[in-house]
């Protein structure tokens, strides 16, 4: 027992020493061309037709290549398509495929693409994301089960020629076809193995890396596929993807050298990490906007004066600079800057006014709408109780309460998926929320407020003029004219203010400077085939 007490004292002394002297000791593993990729979350599926998460896309996009794929900068470039042509009305597209094989040596043919598009649109597949392909002729009807699979506007002219018919000209088709919903799956394997085809022992891929192991909540492991058509330019031999749910833990693993990169880091640690890990920190605008929605069918939010008043009274600069602190940009429009085919963008009219000026104007607007000391404005603001949102909510409340003493806001935090369910069913007054686009085009933001969008139009905004402009932009083939139509539509919507743009999202990542080929980009897609790591360099 005596011995033991001395040991404990020794331990206390030792840990005190340890706390005072913090020497650096970084383990550099000698795994060569193996990349350890922190990937934010556990994939729910690796089947491209059943997936719906960006973290799943990071793995799946290394396994499969669609007609188009992304370059290092995230821009659409030809993938399996060698060349293509579109008819004059933009509704018939013919693709010539490159000569390429699945990882088992079986050639990839146009039939694989027909099989895959029919598979994802087949209602029995239970694909959650099939609606993204509704631009394809008859796709919606096929997915509803009202039309036979064979009616889908996709056909193999010969082994290497594929024809896709569209419902309307979609100039953004190449971008859309990079998405995992339109990636090919090996028809011969899926037919034979059914739903088990994606298991590591069965799967065959046409992309640069092939799945070899998947341990739930531990890692996904892929190795280089020598059959990949551009295999000679792929540097890495293997990749481990880790579900780094806890981004504080992930940050420690990056600092330790256990992870070469992680697709997130704790936002409030930006300054600290810049100092601790010089060269690692990546912050870049992202294809997403955080915006608040009004339920415009309910009084008083059916009045655009009230909506505008509340929209202009918020101090976005304070929230982004003092609360979020990781590069988010105050937003005065729904479509973020830098989105493809949309160079100019729209903006709310009061964007350049001072906060005091806006507050004054807000008060005047509310009084005009009939509110005042005798008729106070009381409402509830709901927010997602995850990430930074609970820290922002009190600032939002304070900004609104500061308009006038007769504005009273209560705030309530809600679980994210419950909040979105309430948004869809219209059970809210004012709510936060965010939209991350599926593909890089302004249309993917503007459609959110079209009348026909239904549930996803949380505000239940309905303006025939807006609907008409967006509809016309979908059919316009000329890129400039199309942008002008969309801009006009967005401006009308912003003046009506069914939603309050708050800030444009950023993507955050920690990338070891020894990793080459990582280019920050707005879609935040970084395919591993372009990455390499030089472990001879110390850092």
Partner 1 sequence: MFGFLIRRLFVAIPTIFIIITLAFFLMRSAPGSPFDLERPIPEAIKARLAEKFHLDKPIATQFGYYLKDLSKGDLGPSMKYKDKTVSNIIAEGFPVSATLGLSAMSLAVIIGSMLGGFAALRQNQVGDFAVMGMAMTGISIPPFVTGPVLALIFGLYLGWLPTAGLDRGQLTFTHLLLPVITLALPQIAIISRLMRASMIETLRSNYIRTAYAKGLPGYAVVFRHALRAAILPLVSYLGPATAALLTGSIVVEQIFALPGIGRQFVMGALQRDYTVVMGVVILYATLIILLNLVADILYGVLDPKVRYD
Binding site for partner 1 (CB under 8 A): 1, 4-5, 8, 15, 18-19, 22-27, 42, 44-47, 50, 52, 123-124, 126-131, 143-145, 195, 198-199, 213, 215-219, 221, 240, 242-246, 248-250, 252-253, 255-256, 258, 415-418, 420-421, 424, 455-456
Strand ranges across the sheet with 161-165: 81-86, 92-97, 161-165, 154-158
Do residues 519 and 73 touch, judged by C-beta distance below 8 A? yes
> Least separation, in Å, of the C-beta of 46 and partner 1?
7
Under 8 Å between Cβ of 442 and 401: no
| CB nearer partner 1, residue 401 or residue 453 | 453
Q: Considering the complex, state which of residue 140 and residue 402 has its C-beta at the smaller distance from partner 1.
A: 140
User: Please, what is the minimum distance in Å from the beta carbon of residue 15 to partner 1?
Assistant: 7
Beta carbon of residue 408, minimum distance to partner 1 (angstroms, whole number): 27
Calculate the alpha carbon distances from 263 to 51, 483, 525 in Å: 18, 32, 10
- Give me the least distance between CB of 291 and partner 1, in Å please: 14
What is the largest distance, in Å, between two alpha-carbon atoms of the chain?
A: 92
Residue 110 or 254 having the CB closest to partner 1 = 254
Nearest distance, CB of residue 430 and partner 1, angstroms: 18
Give the shortest CB-415-to-partner 1 separation in angstroms.
7
Burial class, 32, CB count within 10 angstroms (exposed 0-12 / middle 13-18 / buried 19+): exposed
Query: Coil, strand, or helix at residue 2?
Result: helix
Q: Which of 96, 98, 65, 112 is nearest to 206 (CA)?
A: 65
Specify the residue, 120 or 404, whose C-beta has the smaller distance to partner 1: 120
**Phi–psi pair at 485, nearest 5 degrees:** -60, -45
Coil, strand or helix at 58: helix
Shortest Å distance, C-beta 256 to partner 1: 5
Answer whether 305's CB lies under 8 Å from 256's CB: no
d(CA 293, CA 420): 11
Least Å from the CB of residue 222 to partner 1: 14
Complex with partner 1: residue 240 or 371, whichever CB lies closer? 240
| Min dist. Cβ of residue 197 to partner 1 (A) | 10
Nearer CB in complex with partner 1: 9/477: 9
Q: CB burial class (10 A; 0-12, 13-18, 19+) of residue 506?
A: buried
Q: How far is the CB of 26 from partner 1 (least distance, A)?
A: 6
Q: Are 208 and 234 spatial neighbours (Cβ–Cβ below 8 Å)?
A: yes
Query: Which one, 212 or 233, has the nearer CB to partner 1?
Result: 212
What is the number of other CB atoms lying within 10 angstroms of the CB of residue 215? Answer: 9
**Is cis: bond before 300, omega within 30 of 0?**
yes
Residue 22: other Cβ atoms inside 10 A: 7
Nearer to partner 1, 11 or 157 (CB): 11
User: 128-145 burial string, b = 16+ CB within 10 Å, else e?
Assistant: ebbebbbbbbbbbebbee
- Bridge partners of residue 213, in order along the sequence: 221
Q: Regarding beta strands 430-431 and 377-384, do their DSSP bridges make them parallel or antiparallel, or are they unpaired?
A: parallel
* Closer Cβ to partner 1, 87 or 249, answer by number: 249
Residue 428 C-beta: closest distance to partner 1, Å: 14
CA–CA separation, 348 vs 8, rounded Å?
65
Q: How far is the CB of 45 from partner 1 (least distance, A)?
A: 4
Q: Find all residues with CB under 8 Å of 17, minimum gap 6, and list them.
A: none
Query: Which residue's CB is nearer to partner 1, number 213 or number 480?
Result: 213
Run of H or E residues at 417: helix 416-425
Closest of 314, 298, 305, 459 to residue 371, by C-alpha: 305
Q: Quick one: 26 or 481, whose CB is closer to partner 1?
A: 26
Nearer to partner 1, 27 or 356 (CB): 27
């Amino acid at each position: 027992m005596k011995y033991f007490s001395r040991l404990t004292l020794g331990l206390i002394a030792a840990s005190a020493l340890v706390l005072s002297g913090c020497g650096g000791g970084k383990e550099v593993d000698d795994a060569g061309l193996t990349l350890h990729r922190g990937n934010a979350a556990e994939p729910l599926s690796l089947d491209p037709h059943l997936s719906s998460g960006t973290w799943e896309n990071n793995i799946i996009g290394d396994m499969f290549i669609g007609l188009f794929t992304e370059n290092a900068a995230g821009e659409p470039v030809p993938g399996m398509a060698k060349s293509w042509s579109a008819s004059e009305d933009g509704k018939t597209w013919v693709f010539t495929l490159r000569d390429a094989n699945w990882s088992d040596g079986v050639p990839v043919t146009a039939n694989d693409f027909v099989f895959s598009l029919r598979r994802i649109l087949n209602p029995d597949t239970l694909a959650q994301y099939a609606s993204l392909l509704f631009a394809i002729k008859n796709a919606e009807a096929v997915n509803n089960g009202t039309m036979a699979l064979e009616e889908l506007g996709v056909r193999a002219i010969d082994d290497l020629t594929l024809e896709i018919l569209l419902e309307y000209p979609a100039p953004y088709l190449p971008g859309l076809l990079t998405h995992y919903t339109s990636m090919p799956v090996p028809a011969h394997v899926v037919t034979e193995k059914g739903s088990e085809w994606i298991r590591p022992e069965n799967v065959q891929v046409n992309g640069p890396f092939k799945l070899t192991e998947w341990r739930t909540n531990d890692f996904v492991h892929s190795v280089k596929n020598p059959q990949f058509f551009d295999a000679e330019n792929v540097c890495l031999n293997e990749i481990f993807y880790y579900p780094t749910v806890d981004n504080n833990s992930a940050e420690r693993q990056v600092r330790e050298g256990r992870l070469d990169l992680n697709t997130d880091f704790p936002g409030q640690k930006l300054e600290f990490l810049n100092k601790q890990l010089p060269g690692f920190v990546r912050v870049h605008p992202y294809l997403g906007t955080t915006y608040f929605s009004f339920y415009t069918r309910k009084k008083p939010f059916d009045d655009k004066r009230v909506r505008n008043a509340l929209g202009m009274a918020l101090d976005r600069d304070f929230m982004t600079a003092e609360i979020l602190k990781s590069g988010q940009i105050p937003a005065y429009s729904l479509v973020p800057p830098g989105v493809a085919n949309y160079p100019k963008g729209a903006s709310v009219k009061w964007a350049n006014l001072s906060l005091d000026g806006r507050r004054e104007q807000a008060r005047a607007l509310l009084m005009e709408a009939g509110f005042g000391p005798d008729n106070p404005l009381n409402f509830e603001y709901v927010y997602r109780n995850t990430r930074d949102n609970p820290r922002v909510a009190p600032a939002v409340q304070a900004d609104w309460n500061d308009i006038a003493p007769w504005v009273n806001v209560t705030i309530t935090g809600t679980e994210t998926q419950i909040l979105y369910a309430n948004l869809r069913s219209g059970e809210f007054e004012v709510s936060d929320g965010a939209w991350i686009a599926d593909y890089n085009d302004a249309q993917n933001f503007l459609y959110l407020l079209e009348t026909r969008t239904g549930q996803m139009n949380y505000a239940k905004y309905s303006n025939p003029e807006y609907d008409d402009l967006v509809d016309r932009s979908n059919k316009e083939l000329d890129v400039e004219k199309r942008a002008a139509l969309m801009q006009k539509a967005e401006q009308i919507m912003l003046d009506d203010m069914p939603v309050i743009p708050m800030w444009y999202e950023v993507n955050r990542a920690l990338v070891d400077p020894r990793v080459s080929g990582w280019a920050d980009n707005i879609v935040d897609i970084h395919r591993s085939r372009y990455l390499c790591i030089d472990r001879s360099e110390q850092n």
